[in-house]
Amino acid sequence: MCGIVGYIGNKQVVPILLDGLQKLEYRGYDSAGIAVLLDGKIERRRIEGKIAGLKEKMAKEPINGFMGIGHTRWATHGRPTEENAHPHIDCKNEIVLVHNGIIENYFTLRQELIELGHKFVSDTDTEVLAHLIEENNKSGNFLEAVVKSLKEAEGSYALAIVLDKTPDKLYAARLGSPLVIGIGEGEYYIASDVLAILNYTKKVIFLEDGEIAEVSKEGFHIYTIADLSRVNKKAQLITWDPITAEKSGYRHFMLKEIYEQPRVIEENIKGRLSKDKEEVYLDFPDLPDKELEGIKKVLIIACGTSYHAGLVGKFILEKILRISVEVDIGSEFRYRDPIIDKNTLLIAISQSGETADTIAAVKEAQKSNAKIISICNVLDSSITRLSHGVIYTHAGPEVGVASTKAFTAQLTALYLLALYLGKLRKSISKIELIELIDELLKLPKKVEAILENDKDIIKCSKTYFKYKNFLYLGRGINYPIALEGALKLKEISYLHAEGYPAGEMKHGPIALIDENMPIVAIVPHGQVYDKMVSNLREVQARQGVIVAVGYKNDEIVKEMSDYFFTIPETIDFLTPILTIIPLQLLAYHVALKLGVDIDQPRNLAKSVTVE
């Protein structure tokens, strides 16, 4: 969490920093600040709250300058006040820095520095770094001072640092938090995420963990933090279009991203299937077919919405591969002494590729020599680098904090992976493969049809936004969709919503049901349809209010429901990609009625890079 940005070049730096921060605001929006170096003097502006507030402050108290750094914060240590806002400075206002990550030994370092006479003005872990570098800079070689300090600091960081005495240089370092250098003409950018600099350049270098860069207008040098040896890296071209990072006329990014799903699903399928529908093309250069054929167990690791995609993945992979699949939440997996070995395939699912708990779990699995495939959206992100193979989800930048298009893209990737492995391991017949591919290809149009039919959903949101508690019920492959639907509602509307396997209702939650607790039921036809209908009868018998998602021609469920959202028919196995769409829209329209901040819900950040 937290977003950092930096610039050095011939342009006025403030608009570039503000623009970059605006793009990074999804990473945290508790406070914001920038620092600019001009005529050897560091000027800072900071505020509590969002970038809009910082823009206002900059308009009232402008600064000129051609190099500087900026930060948008998701508070970890210290309340979200102006004093705790980055950039942070040393005692003499000579060193200024912005930080994304956590300095775990900050308390000890802070005590030592206080004893040496340093004065602290914030409660943050980050301020320790400014004073530590100041302390170590007595030799006069700034790069060495920064490196020495980073070796003393424990934890994670992406840093951008400015020293008043070297106005021609900007320093950037990375350990555990992402950092990218953007290459322009006689100008360079630093950012947590390419989104921040996409308007200016698509040519980038991704810093690796343990690297530090010294950047000037003329170019940059990258060194290892371990021994300051030079590192040569090749620039990469980013294919994302800056327009996809804009709202394009939609009221919110979340809505735009919901409506992008037909295209995203299509792009994920396109190019990965042969015309005769007999082949799935996935490329895992470091995972020879022989190794994938020998897999005995699959373990899926993810957090939040990606975890819900993983739960659907269990159904998909077990059905096609007929091998056992476990699904774990990143933060749980690493502390439970899991049983994995070289015959385990670990699938890490992450939109950002930077979720700290998922990264830690992947590193844990590495120790047991598991084969690792990741399903990620962000190019060259940390998780992709830890993997033997990657399926990129090609969803484009997802800016809304609540994940929507990344989820359906992850589901699509899981279907493709299951079909690919199924063919390789001969657990699926040619006819089955063709049939499934045929249905998969029809999904984009079906999602489009649901999106065009949002009138009932809007009407329903107008009825139910006043309710405080919701129970989402699903069974089988749609049980994870109940969890995901409930998560969408709670995270953006702050209403209480629980996802539950419908069959479990009578073991406890049924006690909650009355006319004040809407039940959102996912009931497409399939293996568990009759069971779901029986569960809904139990709700009906207790005067429960029913909102259902099901097939158009389903008169039974329609008649039982207060609101009925229809989806086009598909095979049972593929329904989650369709059933989630009305639930995303329902959450969006309820939140809209409540007038809350849909794209940036309170207390959240898009990418959770701390444990």
**Where do contacts with ligand F6R occur on this chain (CB under 6 A)?**
303-306, 350-352, 355, 358, 402-403, 487, 491, 607-608
Minimum CB distance to ligand F6R, residue 482 (Å): 15
Active site residue 303: no
Nearer to ligand F6R, 84 or 306 (CB): 306
Structure tokens at 474: 């699903």
Nearer to ligand F6R, 136 or 305 (CB): 305
**Contact yes or no for 13/65 (Cβ under 8 A):** yes
Active site residue 2: yes
Nearer to ligand F6R, 103 or 580 (CB): 580
Minimum CB distance to ligand F6R, residue 488 (Å): 7
Minimum CB distance to ligand F6R, residue 391 (Å): 14
Minimum CB distance to ligand F6R, residue 484 (Å): 8
At 405, the amino acid letter reads: K
Helices and strands per DSSP (H, E), number in the chain: 19, 25
Residue 320 CB-density burial (10 A; 0-12 exposed, 13-18 middle, 19+ buried): buried
> Inter-axis angle of helices 430-452 and 575-594, to 10 degrees?
20
Nearer to ligand F6R, 70 or 330 (CB): 330
**Contact yes or no for 472/485 (Cβ under 8 A):** yes
Nearer to ligand F6R, 84 or 404 (CB): 404
CB-closest chain residue to ligand F6R: 304
Q: Is 424 helix (H, G, I), strand (E, B) or coil?
A: helix
Q: How far apart are CA 525 and CA 13, in angstroms?
A: 57
- Residue 64: closest CA among 5, 132, 16: 16
Nearer to ligand F6R, 201 or 607 (CB): 607
Q: How far apart are CA 153 and CA 515, in angstroms?
A: 56
Nearer to ligand F6R, 21 or 608 (CB): 608
Q: How far apart are CA 453 and CA 582, in angstroms?
A: 9
- Residue 403: closest CA among 487, 470, 327: 487
Q: Of 2, 303, 376, 460, which one is the catalytic site residue? A: 2
Positive or negative, the CA dihedral 272, 278, 283, 287 is: positive
**Contact yes or no for 516/467 (Cβ under 8 A):** yes
Place of tokens 């570039």: 16
Minimum CB distance to ligand F6R, residue 591 (Å): 12
Q: How far apart are CA 281 and CA 462, in angstroms?
A: 45
Q: How far apart are CA 35 and CA 166, in angstroms?
A: 15
Q: How far apart are CA 131 and CA 422, in angstroms?
A: 56
Using alpha carbons, list the distances in angstroms from residue 449 to 13, 17, 99, 444, 485. 46, 41, 45, 9, 19
Minimum CB distance to ligand F6R, residue 267 (Å): 18
* Residues belonging to the active site: 2, 606
